[in-house]
Chains A and B, each alone.
Chain A
Amino acid sequence: MSELLQIGAQRPKAPEPDSLELRFSPTAVEELEALKTHYPDLKSCVLPTLWIAQREYGGHLSPEAIAEVAHRLSRSYAEVEGVATFYSMYNTAHKPGRHLIEVCTCLSCHMCGAYRIVDHLEEKLGIKLGETTPDGVFSIHEVECLDACDRAPVLQVGDQYVGPVTPETVDELLERLRSNPDSTVVQLADAVVKVHLRDGKA
């Protein structure tokens, strides 16, 4: 930042609309057009479009992804970035691994040993909460209540809940996930988009 303070320093500019590299696939564009008809106002379409972007950009809402969403919905970049960074299920902070394991550490899970599970995951994968393994396969996040206290301690992977878990079942889960080449992060985003396309009906 210090170099920006210097007088006459060039501050980075927001990308020009013409210079954006649009990466939505034809399917995604089709889905977006269908979604637009659900709302009276394009502003309302920001959330589902961010899910499409999360899927199209491999599970990560990079600044480029946010810019593309803003461009496609004729909103300002800042506004869409504000929305994306507000919600924790949009991965804006960093690119998650192929599989994102979300550990509920709210009251019930905590009482049932959620932090033992966290410790086990951290030891097993050699990373801390909020980090990604160097091979890019696993990320672990701590999340608030997943509304599945009956299955405490519970994990979320993609659109699936796993629980109650023990260190042993966690090991099995990791093995199973390691052999799964498809990203569960992308799969979750796709599932959410599908729900939106059905207008919220299951």
Chain B
Amino acid sequence: MVKLTINGIELEAPQGELIVETVKRLGLEIPVFCYHPRMKAVGMCRMCLVETGFKQPDGSVRMMPKPQAGCTLPASEGLVVVTDSEAIHRDRKGVLEFLLINHPLDCPICDRGGECPLQNNTMAYGPSTTRFIEMKRHLPKAFPLSQYVTLDLERCIQCGRCVRFTEEISGDSDLAFRFRGAEMQPSTFQLTDFESRFSGNVIEICPVGALTSAKYRFRARPWDLETSPGVCTECSNGCNVWFDHRAGKQVRINGRANDGVNEEWTCDKGKFGHDWYNSTSRLTKPLVRRGDQFVPASWSEAYEEILAAFADKGGKVAGLTGPRVSNEGLFLFKRLFSEAFGSDNVDHRWRSGPVPTGPVPRPLPIASLESKRHILVFGTHLAEDLPIVHLRVRKAWSQSGATVDVAYSAANEVERFAKASLRCRPGAEAALAKCLLGEAVWSGKATVSDAVRAELAGFNADSAEEKSGVSGATVRAAAARLGEGAVVLTSDRLLDAPEPPSAWKSLKALAEATGSEFVCYPTGTNAAGAELLGLVPDHGLSTWQILEGCKDGKIEALWLVEADPSSTHDAALETVPFLVYQGTLENEAMAYASVVLPMAAPAEQDGTWTNCEGRVQRFRQAIAPPGEAKPAWRVFAECLLRARPSTPFFNPGEVMEEIARVHPVFAPAQYSLLPEEGALVARESLVGEPAGGGG
């Protein structure tokens, strides 16, 4: 810690902390454009000028003759900083005058107007009139850089935030500055398509309206929007977002800071993937089948039909849920089947191969990846399946110096920074895992039981080329890098590969035998929650047995919650005598349904979701569900109450209390205790070990 003085206030700060950050802690403000706390400071815009000086041994202060950029100035002993002098105000005015020379000031038609740092800083510190009478620079306006990002070069103030984002955070370096001086423009190569998976973030970090969202363009002014803190439910990362809505309609998604999960970034799937909220094919009324067509019904009628088909049918009824149902909904779904229907045939898993059961080690918090020495990404297209985990793995490499290896059957983004890429043949994941384990065992790095050792005969670095298509030297080096401080990271996509149990077991054995950690993140939005809540059959039928059972008449009634197996099991849906489809959108499965129930989307209800690392996060209701749609938990609670008298649940908070009673790991997730950043509830297991068969 060093002692320094800011505006006459003496304080202590860690040596080397940037003055912009120190000043922020004091509650004062230094205006910035190019500075971003999650990226390296470059001092490009000069907006953060401060006067500086140093305390002399005799106690006097010697000020420097010229101002310095506060974003590149580290705190040091005896530093004196003045952020609020007349000279500084003059400097800021001068800098803004320069920045505004070529800025078109088309704020009235700019999407950024109202939430624009340039606008705000100009109002606060800038000159009120311009002295510039010459022609402004003219450049392309509204250029479609990608399907999501629109580039307006005239508005750009050349701060370089977007360029640095693609370089430092997303790592694709898709944007760079072309030309120089006043003509300098951020651009992709030859203005080709900006294909980054994280392109939406540059819209948010742009301090002017140069990069705007093609989807949000001209749809609202920021002051017309209401915003609610939310959680993205498009994948299992559980990114924290701001859910912006207007007149009950979803308008846009922005990143919200949560250092444990997404820092403040979002992926394009999440940021631009919420359009379905406003889809015209949203279900709004319960429908019951009368002959060839659906007729609108009341919820009571729908419940009566469902209960007539399901109640007390035991093993003849089954339920399948999709990934987007809240913890509360999943819990009550399981309870409804076990208590009211007497059936254990409930499942949430959508894999073509055998399905996992049984415990594996506690999942690793995403943020802890940063402190690892080495990460082996195995059998998953990380940037596609778990985009935010991908950013963390990259951060571990770029900021903490971790080494990364990637083993996947196709080109993927991790290869850009990986030390070695083990590009195996599609389907050879199991063989590759065995070769890695074999190499670790034969080289004496790892010890395994004799049974495993026997299975490994013939699998080593030398046979890797022939068995998996990866060169022996690469396998040898990759195996050598595992050990203390290393992580073997995979996702449940590994289970889509042929021979999943073998790949899974070898990979887990590889991690254990070499002393590395093993983590398998689920990819379905709330798959972790479903796993923790036991939404798998204890002794009943699993997904594929249920669907097969529908075909051969063992299952007489099936309840689908946001699940659509019609592409693979059309016949099962056609054959089953009674089908309930509960969902947010119309889809193929509806064609065979006897009863259709409209479901509220995540933002349209209060509830909690569990992300891949086992973090329970609450999403409070932001907008009203369309028509008569109801949250899933409420439908199950009402069915339960109709089937047999019990204590009713009035709100999801009460359901969570019940969950915490039945599943003690959820105790910290009770609404009265749940912190804003969510609570990690993972127990021993999230995704279990794949059992054989099941299909």
Which A residues contact B (CB, under 8 angstroms)? 1, 4-5, 9, 11-14, 63, 66-67, 70, 75-79, 81-82, 85-86
B174 touches A12 (CB 8 A): no
Size band of the interface chain B makes with A: 20 to 34
**C-alpha gap A70/B179 in the complex (Å):** 17
- Shortest CB distance A118–B (Å): 22
Q: Among the interface residues B143, B147, B179, B190, which one has the most CB atoms of the partner chain A within 10 A?
A: B190
Q: Does B471 belong to the interface (CB within 8 Å)? A: no
Q: Among the interface residues A9, A63, A79, which one has the most CB atoms of the partner chain B within 10 A?
A: A79
- Selected from A1, A14, A85, A86, the residue in CB contact (under 8 A) with B195 is A14
**C-alpha gap A81/B174 in the complex (Å):** 11
A14 touches B190 (CB 8 A): yes
B189 touches A78 (CB 8 A): yes
Q: Mark B355-395, 1 if CB is under 8 A from A, else 0.
A: 00000000000000000000000000000000000000000
**C-alpha gap A149/B130 in the complex (Å):** 40
A79 touches B173 (CB 8 A): yes
Nearest chain A residue, comparing its CB with the CB of B194: A11
B189 touches A14 (CB 8 A): yes
Q: Mark B130-173, 1 if CB is under 8 A from A, else 0.
A: 00000000001011101100000000000000000001000011
Nearest chain A residue, comparing its CB with the CB of B411: A17
- Selected from A5, A9, A81, the residue in CB contact (under 8 A) with B190 is A81
Interface of A is mostly: helix
**C-alpha gap A70/B173 in the complex (Å):** 12
**C-alpha gap A67/B175 in the complex (Å):** 14
14 contacts between A and B (CB under 8 A): A4-B143, A5-B142, A12-B193, A13-B192, A13-B195, A14-B188, A14-B189, A14-B195, A66-B189, A67-B189, A77-B189, A78-B173, A81-B176, A82-B178
Nearest chain A residue, comparing its CB with the CB of B416: A74
Please name the 6 residue pairs, one residue from A and one from B, whose CB atoms are nearest each other, closest first.
A82-B176, A77-B189, A76-B173, A78-B176, A14-B192, A11-B193
Q: Does B66 belong to the interface (CB within 8 Å)? A: no
- Shortest CB distance B160–A (Å): 11
A86 touches B174 (CB 8 A): no
B193 touches A78 (CB 8 A): no
**C-alpha gap A153/B20 in the complex (Å):** 50
Q: Among the interface residues B143, B174, B180, B192, which one has the most CB atoms of the partner chain A within 10 A?
A: B192
**C-alpha gap A2/B192 in the complex (Å):** 15
Nearest chain B residue, comparing its CB with the CB of A5: B144
A11 touches B172 (CB 8 A): no
Q: Does B177 belong to the interface (CB within 8 Å)? A: yes
- Selected from B147, B180, B187, B191, the residue in CB contact (under 8 A) with A86 is B180
A81 touches B142 (CB 8 A): no
Q: Among the interface residues B167, B175, B177, which one has the most CB atoms of the partner chain A within 10 A?
A: B177
Give chain B residues whose Cβ lies under 8 Å from the Cβ of A1: 140, 143
- Selected from A14, A70, A85, the residue in CB contact (under 8 A) with B193 is A14
**C-alpha gap A82/B167 in the complex (Å):** 13
Which B residues contact A (CB, under 8 angstroms)? 140, 142-144, 146-147, 167, 172-180, 187-193, 195
A12 touches B192 (CB 8 A): yes
A76 touches B143 (CB 8 A): no
**C-alpha gap A4/B192 in the complex (Å):** 11
**C-alpha gap A92/B195 in the complex (Å):** 24
A63 touches B189 (CB 8 A): yes
Give chain A residues whose Cβ lies under 8 Å from the Cβ of B146: 11
- Selected from B142, B147, B172, B178, the residue in CB contact (under 8 A) with A85 is B178
- Selected from B179, B180, B187, the residue in CB contact (under 8 A) with A78 is B187
Nearest chain B residue, comparing its CB with the CB of A13: B193
With A4-B144, A5-B142, A5-B144 as contacts: A12 and B190 at CB distance below 8 Å: yes
**C-alpha gap A5/B179 in the complex (Å):** 24
**C-alpha gap A14/B192 in the complex (Å):** 6
**C-alpha gap A14/B143 in the complex (Å):** 16
Q: Among the interface residues B142, B176, B189, which one has the most CB atoms of the partner chain A within 10 A?
A: B189
- Shortest CB distance B380–A (Å): 23
Give chain A residues whose Cβ lies under 8 Å from the Cβ of B140: 1
**C-alpha gap A79/B177 in the complex (Å):** 8
**C-alpha gap A77/B192 in the complex (Å):** 10
Give chain A residues whose Cβ lies under 8 Å from the Cβ of B195: 13-14
Q: Among the interface residues A14, A77, A78, A85, which one has the most CB atoms of the partner chain B within 10 A?
A: A78
- Shortest CB distance B549–A (Å): 43
**C-alpha gap A85/B187 in the complex (Å):** 12
- With A14-B188, A81-B190 already in contact, 17 other A-B pairs whose C-beta atoms are closer than 8 Å: A5-B142, A5-B144, A9-B144, A11-B147, A12-B190, A12-B191, A13-B192, A14-B190, A63-B189, A76-B174, A76-B176, A77-B190, A78-B175, A79-B173, A81-B178, A86-B177, A86-B180
Give chain A residues whose Cβ lies under 8 Å from the Cβ of B187: 78
Nearest chain B residue, comparing its CB with the CB of A81: B189
**C-alpha gap A4/B191 in the complex (Å):** 11
Give chain A residues whose Cβ lies under 8 Å from the Cβ of B190: 12, 14, 63, 77, 81
A82 touches B177 (CB 8 A): yes
Give chain B residues whose Cβ lies under 8 Å from the Cβ of A11: 144, 146-147, 192-193
**C-alpha gap A35/B112 in the complex (Å):** 46
Nearest chain B residue, comparing its CB with the CB of A10: B193
A75 touches B144 (CB 8 A): no
B188 touches A78 (CB 8 A): yes
Nearest chain B residue, comparing its CB with the CB of A88: B180
**C-alpha gap A66/B193 in the complex (Å):** 17
**C-alpha gap A1/B167 in the complex (Å):** 27
**C-alpha gap A190/B287 in the complex (Å):** 77
**C-alpha gap A63/B147 in the complex (Å):** 23
**C-alpha gap A4/B142 in the complex (Å):** 10
**C-alpha gap A70/B192 in the complex (Å):** 15
Nearest chain A residue, comparing its CB with the CB of B172: A76
**C-alpha gap A185/B178 in the complex (Å):** 23
Give chain A residues whose Cβ lies under 8 Å from the Cβ of B188: 14, 78
A85 touches B179 (CB 8 A): yes
B174 touches A78 (CB 8 A): yes
Give chain B residues whose Cβ lies under 8 Å from the Cβ of A4: 143-144
- Shortest CB distance A76–B (Å): 4
Give chain A residues whose Cβ lies under 8 Å from the Cβ of B174: 76, 78
Give chain B residues whose Cβ lies under 8 Å from the Cβ of A13: 192-193, 195
B193 touches A75 (CB 8 A): no
**C-alpha gap A165/B147 in the complex (Å):** 54
- Shortest CB distance A82–B (Å): 3
**C-alpha gap A67/B140 in the complex (Å):** 24
